[in-house]
């Protein structure tokens, strides 16, 4: 991941601000802070580079996971570099796959998504605890700063609530049979949309999902883009739900 232009931009802003705050007798405290701040940010971009590369590799693995298992295997065999092909196979081996069992197909979420949400959740929880403790008498701070930290803590609490709901959703499994689409929760409860009724399919690209619901019901089941085997799941729903004719 090339961050050269980001570094050039940070350096240019730091130089301009340092020049504008330069005093007649030389460097002032403000110009020094701009110089040291720009230098620190440029060094931080070197830490972001491997993180960015890892994120790009993660996206590549997720792209393969979303494929139909048969298509995935065919495309993997066409990867020219054996090192790349072996790396992808090793990463995919650590993830769940579509389960086939007596006419039923089950589509889980990737393990990497669950791990990421869990790590971000607990990291934010630590930050929220630190921010909220600062609003008490644990640390002496001006009232204005305490109010600001309390507001930030409230926003992060809302983010924690979203992450908790997201984590619960990532534990669900989609089950497709010739008769219905079901969303199965870890406690065994399920929500079902039968295929023997008028259906409506709605694409929500900003939310990263497709929603299937009966035309007589507002409740829907989400077919998330990030589910393992998403492309196969979508094709099955399109065919079984009567949105297109079965292949000859």
Q: What is the mean pLDDT of each run of 10 residues along the chain (248 residues)?
A: 68 75 70 74 72 82 93 91 90 94 94 94 90 68 71 89 95 96 95 94 95 92 96 95 72
> Which pLDDT score is estimated for 142?
65
Measure the CA–CA gap between 239 and 235, rounded to whole angstroms. 6
Residue 70 CB neighbour total at 10 angstroms:
9
> Which pLDDT score is estimated for 57?
86
> Which pLDDT score is estimated for 136?
67
> Which pLDDT score is estimated for 154?
86
> Which pLDDT score is estimated for 35?
72
> Which pLDDT score is estimated for 36?
79
Measure the CA–CA gap between 167 and 157, rounded to whole angstroms. 15
> Which pLDDT score is estimated for 21?
72
CA 4, chain centre distance (Å):
26
Structure tokens at 195: 């295929």
> Which pLDDT score is estimated for 138?
58
> Which pLDDT score is estimated for 2?
56
The terminus-to-terminus CA distance of the chain in angstroms comes to 45
Length of the chain: 248
pTM: 0.77
């Amino acid at each position: 991941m090339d961050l050269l232009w980001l570094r050039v931009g940070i350096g240019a802003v730091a130089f301009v601000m340092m020049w504008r705050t330069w005093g007649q007798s030389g460097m002032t405290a403000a110009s020094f802070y701009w110089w040291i701040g720009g230098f620190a940010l440029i060094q931080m971009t070197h830490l972001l580079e491997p993180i960015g590369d890892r994120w790009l590799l993660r996206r590549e693995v997720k792209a393969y996971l979303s494929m139909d298992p048969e298509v995935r295997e065919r495309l993997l065999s066409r990867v020219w570099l054996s090192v790349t092909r072996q790396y992808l196979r090793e990463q995919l081996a650590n993830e769940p796959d579509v389960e086939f069992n007596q006419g039923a197909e089950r589509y889980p979420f990737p393990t990497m998504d669950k791990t990421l949400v869990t790590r971000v959740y607990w990291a934010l929880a630590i930050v929220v605890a630190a921010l909220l403790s600062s609003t008490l008498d644990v640390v002496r701070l001006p009232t204005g700063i305490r109010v600001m930290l309390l507001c930030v803590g409230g926003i992060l609490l809302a983010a924690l609530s979203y992450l908790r709901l997201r984590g619960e959703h990532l534990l669900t499994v989609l089950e497709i049979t010739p008769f219905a689409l079901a969303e199965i929760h870890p406690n065994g409860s399920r929500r079902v949309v039968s295929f023997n009724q008028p259906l409506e399919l709605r694409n929500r690209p900003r939310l990263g999902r497709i929603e299937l619901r009966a035309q007589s019901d507002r409740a829907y089941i989400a077919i998330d883009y990030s589910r393992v085997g998403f492309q196969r799941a979508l094709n099955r729903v399109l065919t079984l739900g009567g949105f297109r004719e079965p292949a000859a």
